[in-house]
């Protein structure tokens, strides 16, 4: 006997009338929506009046910005950057340059963004893509946090992804692995009879964690933070003969800051301690000329005040009072005649450095002059020191300056490495994780001996070291 009743229990349930108050089929709790929700599909219904209002408001804002920009350019007599877009063939580089120029020339941006940033920082404690707001007015540089708290700097997938991301963005090639560049530079200097001392300066995020997140350790203090692969990197470099100077303390005392509160750089006091430790490290491991003339350096105390460079990165309005200048005491290094320290190209010691070398010495940085790492190192060694320093890009910039000088020396000037016994390569340790370790041209060995009597001198040809691919 046949029956029209469904044999499927689920179908039978679906045919039953829904009880009073139960959501109707097609409502938000209908199981038929589950598949779309899993696929991330959300239906939004906007009425025509609302859509028209939002569209009109959007167009009004865009038009107001353009009109305001045009009016301000006419009032101030500035030329518009818009014609530049049509004055050259559109390429990825030209369009990118136009966008940068347009951003710099934008008056609405100049008027609104600093004030909006001030509100976000003061009320919400927010920085931006470069600056991170810590506790009690402490500021940190974002790439430093990435280097300390991010994945291992030698992790093969990370190395590949960094190189690929640069190519996908249409920028220059990035060499993320620091080992080939360091080992190549070490080998080149060794061929000249010169020792290399690698000096990665610990990052502020690793040495001021209490000021970053507010948590403090027990009676023994906190352990320093560092990239999980940094110890491995140091071990590999030292096994290859590279000397590595690491001033990271074993434990941290939150009550004794090692870095400036609003700046990316170290305090003058800790920098001077490091210079003395570096001087002792050099004397223990490098055979300097014992007959070199001694320099009895003296110091003069000076007080300087400035808001830190991370405040500059946030981009607050001029005259802001949210961050007050920090006052520190620096010690200018002078010779016996009272002249400020100056690098000496004939010195046995060459310091390659970035902004950690320049701070307290380069007057334009606002923290004094002749009081930085190089003068304090010369004071610790009681002898002259040569310096090549450039702010930023410590993974590449100073190597490039030295390479250029060796390839094209000034007329009548000796080889910059002639007579050198040691090269200290100082850079911010974050460069190990985020820097571009480009391969460089170094001179090939030649028959002529240099001033050390231990290796080749003038360049006869150039070679490009082949970068080691990521494992």
- pLDDT tens digits, one per residue of 177-202: 999 999 999 999 999 999 999 999 99
Residue that is written with structure tokens 């750089």 in the block: 265
Q: What pLDDT sits at residue 214? A: 75
**Which of the residue ranges 121-130, 279-288, 415-424, 461-470 would you say has the lowest mean pLDDT?**
461-470
More confident residue, 29 or 182: 182
pLDDT tens-digit readout, 196-232: 999 999 999 999 999 998 776 554 668 899 999 999 9
Instruction: Report yes or no on 4 lying in a domain.
Output: no
| 102 and 165 fall within a common domain | no
pLDDT at 471 over 50: no
| 216 and 334 fall within a common domain | yes
pLDDT at 461 over 90: no
Beta partners for residue 328, in sequence order: 304
**Could you give the CA distance from residue 285 to residue 197 in angstroms, rounded to a whole number?**
10
**Could you give the CA distance from residue 409 to residue 416 in angstroms, rounded to a whole number?**
8
Q: What pLDDT sits at residue 33? A: 59
Q: What pLDDT sits at residue 189? A: 97
Instruction: Report yes or no on 362 lying in a domain.
Output: yes
pLDDT at 264 over 80: yes
Share of the chain above pLDDT 90, in %: 61
**Could you give the CA distance from residue 166 to residue 170 in angstroms, rounded to a whole number?**
6
Instruction: Report yes or no on 46 lying in a domain.
Output: no
**Could you give the CA distance from residue 386 to residue 357 in angstroms, rounded to a whole number?**
12
Instruction: Report yes or no on 73 lying in a domain.
Output: no
Mean pLDDT of the chain: 84
Instruction: Report yes or no on 281 lying in a domain.
Output: yes
| 92 and 217 fall within a common domain | no
pLDDT at 448 over 60: no
pLDDT at 26 over 90: no
Instruction: Report yes or no on 274 lying in a domain.
Output: yes
| 92 and 185 fall within a common domain | no
| 153 and 246 fall within a common domain | yes
Instruction: Report yes or no on 388 lying in a domain.
Output: yes
pLDDT at 450 over 70: no
**Which of the residue ranges 17-31, 283-297, 374-388 would you say has the lowest mean pLDDT?**
17-31
Tally of domains in the chain: 2
| 164 and 90 fall within a common domain | no
Q: What pLDDT sits at residue 245? A: 98
pLDDT tens-digit readout, 268-306: 999 999 999 999 999 999 999 999 889 999 999 999 999
**CA dihedral of 281, 287, 291, 297, whole degrees rounded to 10:** -20
Which structure tokens are listed for 348?
A: 């046995």
Q: What pLDDT sits at residue 464? A: 34
| 99 and 237 fall within a common domain | no
The CA distances from residue 191 to 220, 245, 416, 446, 449, in Å, are 45, 21, 15, 11, 11
Cα-atom radius of gyration of the chain, to the nearest Å? 30
pLDDT at 1 over 70: no
Quickly state the pLDDT bin for 65 (edges 50, 70, 90): confident
| 232 and 328 fall within a common domain | yes
Q: Give the residue numbers spanning the domain of 349.
A: 145-463
pLDDT tens-digit readout, 414-426: 889 999 999 999 9
Residue that is written with structure tokens 């190519």 in the block: 167
pLDDT at 469 over 50: no
Q: What pLDDT sits at residue 454? A: 44
| 219 and 114 fall within a common domain | no
Instruction: State which of 26-35, 424-433, 438-447 shows the largest mean pLDDT.
Output: 424-433
Instruction: Report yes or no on 129 lying in a domain.
Output: no
Mean pLDDT over 48-72 rounds to 84
More confident residue, 22 or 123: 123
Quickly state the pLDDT bin for 70 (edges 50, 70, 90): confident
| 97 and 234 fall within a common domain | no
The CA distances from residue 236 to 148, 233, 241, 243, in Å, are 19, 5, 9, 11
Containing 352, the helix (H) or strand (E) segment is strand 349-353
Quickly state the pLDDT bin for 460 (edges 50, 70, 90): very low
| 101 and 151 fall within a common domain | no
| 118 and 248 fall within a common domain | no
Quickly state the pLDDT bin for 111 (edges 50, 70, 90): confident
**Could you give the CA distance from residue 42 to residue 57 in angstroms, rounded to a whole number?**
24
């Amino acid at each position: 006997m046949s029956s029209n009743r469904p044999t499927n229990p689920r179908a039978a349930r679906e045919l039953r009338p829904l009880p009073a108050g139960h959501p109707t089929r097609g409502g938000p709790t209908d199981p038929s929506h589950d598949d779309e929700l899993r696929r991330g599909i959300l239906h939004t219904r906007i009425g025509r009046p609302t859509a028209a209002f939002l569209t009109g408001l959007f167009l009004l804002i865009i038009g107001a910005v353009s009109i305001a920009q045009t009016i301000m350019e006419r009032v101030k007599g500035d030329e518009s950057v818009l014609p530049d877009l049509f004055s050259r063939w559109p390429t990825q580089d030209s369009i990118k340059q136009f966008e940068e120029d347009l951003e710099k020339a934008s008056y609405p941006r100049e008027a609104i963004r600093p004030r909006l940033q001030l509100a976000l920082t003061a009320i919400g404690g927010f920085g931006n893509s470069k600056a991170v707001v810590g506790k009690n007015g402490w500021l940190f540089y974002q790439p430093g946090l990435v280097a300390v708290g991010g994945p291992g700097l030698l992790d093969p997938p990370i190395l590949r992804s960094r190189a690929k991301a640069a190519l996908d963005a249409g920028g220059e090639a990035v060499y993320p692995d620091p080992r080939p560049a360091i080992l190549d530079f070490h080998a080149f200097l060794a061929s000249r009879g010169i020792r290399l001392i690698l000096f990665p300066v610990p990052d502020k995020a690793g040495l001021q964690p209490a000021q970053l997140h507010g948590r403090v350790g027990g009676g023994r203090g906190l352990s320093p933070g560092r990239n999980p692969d940094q110890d491995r990197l140091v071990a590999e470099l030292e096994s290859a003969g590279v000397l590595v100077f690491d001033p990271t303390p074993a434990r941290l005392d939150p009550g004794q800051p090692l870095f400036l509160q609003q700046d990316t750089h170290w305090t003058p006091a800790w920098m001077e301690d490091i210079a003395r430790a570096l001087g002792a490290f050099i004397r223990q491991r490098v055979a300097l000329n014992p007959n070199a003339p001694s320099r009895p350096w003296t110091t003069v105390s000076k007080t300087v005040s400035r808001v830190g460079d991370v405040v500059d990165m946030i981009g607050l309005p001029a005259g802001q009072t949210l961050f007050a200048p920090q006052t520190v005491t620096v010690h200018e290094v002078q010779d016996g005649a009272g002249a400020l320290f100056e690098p000496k190209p004939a010195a046995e010691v060459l310091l390659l450095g970035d902004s950690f070398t320049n701070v307290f010495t380069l007057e334009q940085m606002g923290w004094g002059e002749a009081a930085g790492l190089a003068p304090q190192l010369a004071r610790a060694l009681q002898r002259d020191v040569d310096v090549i320093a450039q702010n930023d890009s410590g993974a590449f910039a100073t190597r490039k300056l030295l390479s250029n000088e060796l390839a094209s020396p000034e007329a009548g000037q000796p080889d910059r490495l002639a007579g050198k016994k040691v090269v200290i390569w100082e850079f911010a340790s974050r460069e190990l994780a985020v820097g571009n370790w480009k391969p460089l041209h170094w001179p090939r060995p030649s028959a002529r001996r240099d001033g050390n009597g231990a290796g080749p001198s003038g360049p006869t040809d150039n070679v490009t070291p082949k970068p080691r691919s990521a494992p």
